[in-house]
Amino acid sequence: MLGPLLDAEVVVLAVASALGEEIFFPRSSLASHRPCWVKPGVCAFCTWGRSSASCRGTISSLVAGLLFGQLFLWSGDLAGPIAAHFTVNFLNLRFLSAHEMR
């Protein structure tokens, strides 16, 4: 769906999505008022689909969200989760951009 992307485009998309998701679903406010699985559960639910690949994506999104939440609790700020989220998005976008998906 993405097609080939320039490295700069991959960086811009990875930064925008990492910042957008971390700010739209703020860990700092949810961590103190909700159980630690609420934000990752909401994010994972947003990726739900009917295919088996979508199911794997939903599960990996849930696991990544739980790890990002633990990183936030450990560090006390959003810099760590944003950096980790950027890294995952960057690597995924580079892979998807370089390989034709059918």
Looking at residue 23, what is its pLDDT? 79
Structural domain contains residue 55: yes
Structural domain contains residue 31: yes
Structural domain contains residue 1: no
What is the token pair recorded at 73?
A: 């609790």
In 1-102, where do the E strands start and end? none
Looking at residue 39, what is its pLDDT? 65
Q: How many structural domains is the chain composed of?
A: 1
Residue 22: give the domain boundaries: 7-98
Most confident of the ranges 7-16, 60-69, 90-99 = 7-16
Most confident of the ranges 7-11, 30-34, 55-59, 65-69 = 7-11
Structural domain contains residue 24: yes
What is the token pair recorded at 1?
A: 């769906």
Structural domain contains residue 2: no
Structural domain contains residue 28: yes
- What distance in Å separates the CA atoms of residue 97 and residue 58, rounded to the nearest whole number? 21
- What distance in Å separates the CA atoms of residue 8 and residue 10, rounded to the nearest whole number? 5
Q: For residues 77-86, give the mean pLDDT.
A: 91
Q: pLDDT tens for residues 14-50?
A: 999 999 888 776 654 555 555 565 666 666 666 666 6
Structural domain contains residue 74: yes
